[in-house]
Structure 1
Amino acid sequence: MIKVGIVGASGYTGGELLRFLHNHSKVEVSTITSRQYAGQPVYKVHPHLRDSDLVFQDINASKIDADLVFTATPHGASMNIVPEILETGSKVIDLSGDYRYDDIETYEKWYDLKHTNPLESVYGLPELYREEIKKANLVANPGCYPTGSILACMPLIKEKLVETVIIDSKSGVSGTGINPSSATHFPNCSDNIMPYNVTTHRHMSEIEQELNKAGPVKVCFTPHLVPVIRGISTTVHTFLKEELKEDVTSEYLEEIYEGFYNGEPFVRILKEGEMPRLSAVRGSNYAHIGCFQIDQHGRVVIVSAIDNLVKGASGQAIHNMNLMFGFDEKESLDFMGMHP
């Protein structure tokens, strides 16, 4: 049994961490923090957690007595508290972008922040870095868009089939966080699809960093806000290298993906005629990948679907925790989505 703390537990990702950890047989959640809701029971903020007796506390993160601390804090805030937590001997899984980058200058450019406390970390995508995560003290949980995008693209890059990927992602409104804005106000986002940061979204740099470790590739990424609560649907468009157009078929692509993700507990490769759906992964830690179509010009289309709050955030964080402490990888995460 390990003790776990959650810094910033009042947000959507904090609520999802608590939902999954509630039934974890080897975890006791000892501390949850929130300045705004200090002294209030957790169900006042997360009404679905009424069976929990946890109460929000406003305490310094370095005072948390835990084996592991999840920092569900905004970008720029984590870098100020993660070093203090690590000094206490606790391991950390950070859900912000502060420790995802190999190059601090890249982080500072895309986040427009000065990084004051760089540390060595492991990028927390289990399908790529399982063994490294097992030995890590600090895991940087991937972004939600990068999770769906990297999983959809990586086999193509590993096999050196393409040189450029164009990624079109559509995210539910929960991806913008718990605090409302004019963009997420119901009359503005309902019955609408809104592209934003069409060529400048910070997650493009994170996707490019990880894909380029498998081989040189140019990444073009555009996100959209769609009027659903949960989920990210990602469509990858790319062109096969000219010399490969005659040899690569849809069946071959499906075989590549099945081989690459063979044995992965939370990735499902869909068969011909099946299409990844947000409803099929909603509330679960699964990623569905499919389509594998090639048109007459050699354009390949791959589609992935994840729940942005689970596989794209809290579920993946718990998967990382299970690896770090030698638990069954699927502990507390082993259930299907909620379609329809």
Structure 2
Amino acid sequence: MKTVGIIGANGYTGSELVRLLAFHPNVSLCFLYSRSNSGTKISEVYPDLEGVCEIALTDRPEEVDVLFLCLPHKESQNWLSQNTVNDETLVIDLGNDFRLDGKFGNRNFIYGLPEINKKQLSGAKSIANPGCFATAIQLALLPLAEKGLLNEIFTTGITGSTGAGQSPQPTTHFTWRNDNISAYKTLTHQHVDEILQQLDARSSDKINLNFVPWRGDFARGIFTSSTVKTDTELPEIQQLFKDFYADAPFVKVSEKAIDLKQVVNTNRCVIQIEKCGNVTVVHSAIDNLLKGASGQAVQNMNIALGWDENLGLNLKPIAF
């Protein structure tokens, strides 16, 4: 049994980790850190956790075996600089602080996309969890990158309001989101560099990604569509993906049309490929809070500690 602490437990990704780890057979939640809600039970912040987890939030971290950082972007470095963490503690950062440059003090963060870095993650002490859009887009493109079939990519993706975090913003209010969509950070999204770093490392060609993200009028989930040009036939591409993900328990390649409800409330990614002429479109769907954040963090913990990759992550999608 490993002890676990969560820094930023009252945010969306932190509270989602509480929901997962409360039922994980190999861990014990030791403390839930929050400066803003210290002294308040997590079940008072999230009533759905009543009877599931009654731990009071605290601003005093303890020494644990596994530490999850669920802080706003660029805050993880500050927190680690201001607090002492045992070198033997497994640190998993869900922010973007260490995704591009994993070096921090005596720690070297491994990029935590299990489908490509499982060997490096085994036994790791520092893991940088990928971004939500980055996860969905990379899983849709990595098999093509390894075969040198990528050059110019045009991707659109729509995400739920939880992707914007817990702090209220004008574009997360129900009255604004309901029956509404909008593009944001067109061609400048912060996950583009992260995606290209991984794709370029596996491709012999220079890759250019043109990404247009959209805000959706729903709470959770990401659906992306990536368009590329290739003369490779559809059956060959489909088999390429199936072979690439043959040992990936959470990635499913479908020959049928996919939809968001297949993955919401799960740690799964579903992929579908379509082709017309020399134009190929790869669709991918994930839950932004699970495979795009907290679920993947638990998956990374399982791999790092030598446990079954699926442990604590056998979740059912919400069909209706």
Contact 1:152 1:289 in 2 (8 A): yes
Q: Which amino acid aligns with 1:54?
A: I
SS at match of 2:29: strand
Matches within 5 A, 1:1-340: 1-51=1-51, 52-59=53-60, 61=61, 64-82=62-80, 84-87=83-86, 89-102=88-101, 119-215=107-203, 216-240=206-230, 245=231, 248-271=232-255, 274-290=256-272, 292-296=273-277, 298-340=278-320
Q: Which amino acid aligns with 1:39?
A: G
Q: Which amino acid aligns with 2:88?
A: G
**Which residue of 2 is the match for residue 113 of structure 1?**
none
Contact 2:102 2:109 in 1 (8 A): no
Give the 3 Å change call, closer, same or farther, for CA 212–103 of structure 1 in structure 2: farther
State the distance in 1 between where 2:84 and 2:123 align.
17
Contact 1:99 1:118 in 2 (8 A): no
For residues 280-308 of structure 1, give each alpha carbon's deviation from its aligned partner in whole angstroms, at most 9, with x where no partner exists.
11110000001x22213x11101000000
**Which residue of 2 is the match for residue 112 of structure 1?**
none
Structure 1: 5+ residue stretches without partners: 105-115
Give the 3 Å change call, closer, same or farther, for CA 253–139 of structure 1 in structure 2: same
**Which residue of 2 is the match for residue 108 of structure 1?**
none
Contact 2:63 2:86 in 1 (8 A): no
Q: Which amino acid aligns with 2:260?
A: L
SS at match of 1:36: coil
State the distance in 2 between where 1:176 and 1:314 align.
15
Structure 2: 5+ residue stretches without partners: none
Report the CA distance between 1:82 and its aligned residue.
2.9
Report the CA distance between 1:35 and its aligned residue.
1.2
Report the CA distance between 1:85 and its aligned residue.
4.6
State the distance in 2 between where 1:75 and 1:117 align.
18
**TM-score, normalized by length of structure 2?**
0.95
**How large is the Cα RMSD of the aligned pairs?**
1.6
Query: Which aligned runs of 4 or more in structure 1 are off by greater than 6 angstroms?
Result: none
State the distance in 2 between where 1:299 and 1:88 align.
49
The number of aligned residues is 316
State the distance in 2 between where 1:234 and 1:3 align.
36
Contact 1:174 1:230 in 2 (8 A): yes
For residues 102-137 of structure 1, give each alpha carbon's deviation from its aligned partner in whole angstroms, at most 9, with x where no partner exists.
388xxxxxxxxxxx8695210000001001111211
Contact 2:7 2:68 in 1 (8 A): yes
